[in-house]
């Protein structure tokens, strides 16, 4: 005790440092995001630290790594193969595909295999991943038995392990933005881009490459290294809702940083800039099943390609609803 009384200062200093470190850990960005959503919903996302060291769990962990660092494995300088444009799955499927209200993987396990109109077939999770490989990453498909495909599928299914079939939980589905009553405006979008996006995504949407040249610090939004014209993001509704719920960096569903109008106009600007021309002729085998904002004809409804790209979408939707009756 006498020892402690004489040398109390180093102990006190140690205690203070410990408190500062613990405090820093608990207020990391991730935790801040989680606090924004009701606790009932955060608990549906499983905890990666619950995984064991079994072979199956290691595969899930590898899958998470592939989703987060796709470029490292499959980008132009990829260690497994060079078959993608250098984007990471996580650039669009934020927080390893678990961010609520926006492009998360949580409902995949309970809804696939799923019939989708774009392909006109029942899609497996492997098939769906390969669609993003070919379109969003403008790349090549993976063999469905390859270790990397098995790992990504194992991880994606694991994220949905707390959700049962036909169960509807808020935040699992995308937050779709209401249509504007006008067409989205490219010129307005450009002004907002220069003010709020250019600082990271660069002058010509080309993004910023990391120092080692292997991945992006800020991913490209348009130009030859961006998602292809056949990707989901090339539809205005998908891009606008992503932007509203994620950008500029730091935005979320509960704390958006843009208005709906700004998000739609930005989407119009970005999707008017060049993207790799990769269209699949087999898409939308039933023409009238094309979504109102699918920007490539032919159509059965008499509206122009221009209106299908920029809106206003309400009249198209109304005509579609009447035709269905």
At closest approach, how far in Å is the CB of 79 from ligand HEC? Answer: 15
Closer by beta carbon to ligand HEC, 92 or else 316: 92
Backbone dihedral angles phi then psi of residue 240, each to the nearest 5 degrees: -60, -40
Closer by beta carbon to ligand HEC, 201 or else 290: 201
Tokens 């678990």 belong to residue: 98
**CB atoms inside a 10 Å sphere around CB 304:** 11
Query: For 52-183, where are the E strands, in sequence order?
Result: 114-116, 121-123
Residue 94 makes contact with ligand HEC by CB under 6 A: yes
Residue 220 makes contact with ligand HEC by CB under 6 A: yes
Residue 232 makes contact with ligand HEC by CB under 6 A: yes
Dist. CA 234–CA 293, nearest whole Å:
9
Selected range binding ligand HEC among 8-16, 38-46, 103-111, 276-284, rule: CB under 6 A = 103-111
Residue 266 makes contact with ligand HEC by CB under 6 A: yes
Q: Which of 73, 101, 227, 264 binds ligand HEC (CB under 6 A)?
A: 227
**CB atoms inside a 10 Å sphere around CB 319:** 15
Tokens of 229: 């014209």
Are the C-beta atoms of 67 and 96 separated by less than 8 Å? yes
Residue 83 makes contact with ligand HEC by CB under 6 A: no
Give the number of residues written for the chain: 325
Selected range binding ligand HEC among 4-12, 36-44, 197-205, 272-280, rule: CB under 6 A = 197-205
Contacts with ligand HEC, 2-41, as mask; x by CB under 6 A: ----------------------------------------
Are the C-beta atoms of 145 and 91 separated by less than 8 Å? no
Q: Which of 71, 151, 180, 243 binds ligand HEC (CB under 6 A)?
A: 243
Q: Please enumerate in sequence order all residues whose Cβ is within 8 A of that of 243, keeping only pairs 6 or more positions apart, or say none.
A: 258, 263, 266, 267
Residue 236 makes contact with ligand HEC by CB under 6 A: no
Residue 163 makes contact with ligand HEC by CB under 6 A: no
114 forms beta bridges with: 123
Question: What residues from 290 to 309 belong to the interface with ligand HEC (CB under 6 A)?
Answer: none
Pairing of strands 121-123, 208-209: unpaired
Closer by beta carbon to ligand HEC, 256 or else 315: 256
At closest approach, how far in Å is the CB of 251 from ligand HEC? Answer: 8
At closest approach, how far in Å is the CB of 27 from ligand HEC? Answer: 19
Angle, CA of 149, 221 and 42, to the nearest 5°: 60
Dist. CA 6–CA 37, nearest whole Å:
49
Q: Which of 59, 100, 132, 268 binds ligand HEC (CB under 6 A)?
A: 132
Residue 129 makes contact with ligand HEC by CB under 6 A: yes
Are the C-beta atoms of 264 and 184 separated by less than 8 Å? yes
At closest approach, how far in Å is the CB of 17 from ligand HEC? Answer: 31
Dist. CA 233–CA 236, nearest whole Å:
7
Identify which of 274, 232, 267, 277 has the alpha carbon closest to the alpha carbon of residue 131.
232
Closer by beta carbon to ligand HEC, 91 or else 230: 91
Residue 44 makes contact with ligand HEC by CB under 6 A: no
At closest approach, how far in Å is the CB of 212 from ligand HEC? Answer: 17
Backbone dihedral angles phi then psi of residue 78, each to the nearest 5 degrees: -65, 145
Q: Which residues bind ligand HEC (CB under 6 A)?
A: 67, 70, 87-94, 103, 105, 107-108, 128-129, 132-133, 136-137, 152, 156, 196-197, 199-201, 218-221, 227, 231-233, 238, 242-243, 247-249, 266
């Amino acid at each position: 005790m006498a020892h402690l009384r004489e040398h109390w200062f180093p102990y006190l200093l140690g205690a203070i440092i410990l408190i500062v470190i613990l405090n820093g850990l608990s207020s990391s960005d991730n935790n801040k995001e989680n606090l924004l959503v009701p606790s009932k919903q955060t608990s549906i996302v499983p905890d990666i630290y619950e995984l064991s060291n079994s072979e199956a769990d290691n595969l899930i962990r590898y899958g998470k790594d592939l989703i987060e660092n796709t470029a490292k494995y499959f980008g132009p300088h990829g260690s497994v193969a060079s078959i993608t444009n250098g984007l990471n799955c996580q650039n669009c499927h934020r927080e390893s595909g678990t961010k609520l209200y926006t492009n998360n993987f949580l409902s995949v396990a309970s809804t696939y295999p799923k019939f989708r109109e774009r392909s006109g077939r029942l899609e497996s999770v492997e098939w769906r991943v390969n669609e993003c490989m070919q379109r969003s990453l403008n790349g090549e498909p993976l063999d469905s038995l390859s270790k990397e495909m098995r790992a990504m599928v194992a991880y994606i299914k694991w994220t949905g392990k707390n959700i049962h079939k036909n169960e509807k939980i808020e935040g699992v589905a995308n937050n779709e933005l209401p249509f504007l009553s006008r067409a989205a405006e490219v010129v307005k979008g450009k002004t907002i881009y220069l003010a709020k996006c250019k600082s990271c995504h660069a002058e010509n949407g080309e993004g910023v490459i990391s120092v080692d040249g292997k991945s992006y610090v800020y991913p490209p939004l348009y130009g030859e290294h961006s998602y292809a014209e056949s990707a989901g993001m090339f539809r205005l509704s998908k891009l606008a809702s992503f932007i509203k719920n994620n950008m500029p960096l730091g935005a979320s569903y509960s704390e958006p940083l843009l208005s709906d109008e700004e998000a739609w106009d930005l989407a119009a600007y970005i999707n008017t800039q060049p993207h790799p021309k990769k269209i699949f002729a087999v898409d939308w085998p039933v023409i009238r099943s094309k979504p109102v904002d699918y920007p490539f004809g032919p159509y059965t409804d008499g509206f122009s390609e221009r209106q299908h790209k920029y809106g206003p979408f309400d009249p198209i939707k109304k005509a579609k609803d009447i035709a269905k009756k």
